[in-house]
Structure formats: structure tokens, C-alpha cells
Amino acid sequence: MNSNKTTARIVGALFLTVMVTYTLGAFVFVEPILNAPDYLVKVSANKPQVITGVLLELMNGIAYIGIAILVFPILKQLSESMALGYFGFRIIEFAMQIVSDISPLMLTTLSQEFVTAEATDASSFQAIGTLLQAQRFWANQMVFIAYGLGAMIFYYLLYLLKLIPRFLSVWGLIGAPLVLINVMLDIFGLNRLIVKGFSSSKIHSQ
């Protein structure tokens, strides 16, 4: 019993670490710079901030791997195959996180070369920057797909084990598929269509 309580406290602390490190790393430090129109200039001017953000994202990955390791012995009591599936998706998630973080790190080097290059070379730097941005985008989609699939297994097993209040497990079972739906909409560009709506001029022309 004491062992389970200790594990629960550590897992809770790691969940908090996941929330804080990812929010700070991605949304506060990295993404505002990468999403700027002149991101190649901004990355060079804010290299320490970008690197700090990447390190926070990696800490986030290490924290959720820690969660997977700690809860595996508990989850496998109900279903070892599902517990292995959850752990496997966490490993995939972390691997894709690393691929995603390679992009801003490479952009720090590219941006430093860009600001010292001749204006005639700008197009080639922009092309490489676009590829690195695309790498981060697709890697992030894989991160969220692995997260969503793993989370469905995790919260389903927690629901059956009754280790946390069931409404929290149900909330997770609702949230995880929504993450997957959002990723699919983003991949196929449908979320932009939903937000912007249909073009009235095109509708009237039909």
C-alpha cells in the first residue's frame, strides 16, 4: 500500500512536470519564434530561448517515459498486452518528440548562416527552413497520434482498475479520441476549413 502511494505521488509529480515543461517549451519558448514570418532572423536572435524550449520539450518526454515505467507493473496486472501497448506508444511518442526537436536545433544553425549570407542566397535558406518546419509539423502529428492511442489504453485500464475517480478516467477516454480527431483534421487541412468556413463566392458560383 505504501509503495502504491509513493508511486502515485511520483506519477502525479511527473504529470505536473509534463504539463509545465511542454507548455513552457512549446508554446512559450519555441513556437512563437518558429511561427513568426521572419523566423530565420528571429531564431538567430533568440537562440538561447529556442534551445531552452527544446530542452524543456525533451524533459517533458523524459517525464512521460517515467510515467510509463512506473505504471507498467500496475497496468499489467489487468492486461500485460495492453500495458505493453501503452508503453510502446509512449516510446514512439518520445522518439517522434526527438525528431520534432531536431528541427529547431538545426534552424538555429541555419538562421545564423542566413543572417550572414548574401541576399541572393536567401531563397535556398528559405527552402531549407521550410523543410525543417515541415519536419517538425509531421513529427508533432506523430507525437499526438502516439499520445492519443496510448492515452486511450491508459485511461481504459485506469477505469477498470478504479485507481482514480472514474470520472477522471472517462474524461481521459473522451479527450484522447478528440486529440486524434484534431490531428486528422490538421493533417488533411480540414480544421482550417472548419474555422474559416466555405468561400461564399465559390458557393454562389456553383
In a domain? residue 171 = no
Q: Is 39 part of a structural domain of the chain?
A: yes
Q: Give the torsion through C-alpha atoms of 65, 53, 136, 130, to 10 deg.
A: -170
Residue 186 has pLDDT above 80, yes or no: yes
pLDDT, position 116: 87
Predicted confidence (pLDDT) at residue 202 exceeds the cutoff of 50: no
Residue 145 has pLDDT above 80, yes or no: yes
For the cut 60, the answer to whether the pLDDT of residue 13 exceeds it is: yes
Query: pLDDT confidence of 203, banded at 50, 70, 90?
Result: very low
pLDDT tens-digit readout, 31-43: 999 999 999 999 9
Task: Using alpha carbons, select from 173, 169, 113, 122 the residue that is nearest to residue 149.
Answer: 173
Mean pLDDT of the chain: 90
Please check whether residue 34 lies inside any domain of the structure: yes
* Full residue range of the structural domain in which residue 14 is found: 2-141
Q: What is the residue-wise DSSP string for 59-94?
A: HHHHHHHHHHHHHHHHHTTT-HHHHHHHHHHHHHHH
Domain count of the chain?
1
Q: 155 in a domain, yes or no?
A: no
pLDDT value at 164 more than 50: yes
Would you say residue 141 has pLDDT above 70? yes
* Residue 119 located in a structural domain: yes
CB 55 within 8 A of CB 25: yes
The separation between CA 80 and the C-alpha centre of its own chain, rounded to angstroms, equals 26
Q: Is the pLDDT of residue 111 over 90?
A: yes
Residue 173 within a domain: no
Task: Tell me if 147 is assigned to some domain.
Answer: no
Instruction: For helices 47-75 and 2-22, give the axis angle rounded to 10 degrees.
Output: 150
Q: Which of 126, 115, 100 has the alpha carbon at shortest distance from 45? A: 115
Candidates 64, 77, 55; CA nearest to 15 is 64
50 falls within a domain: yes
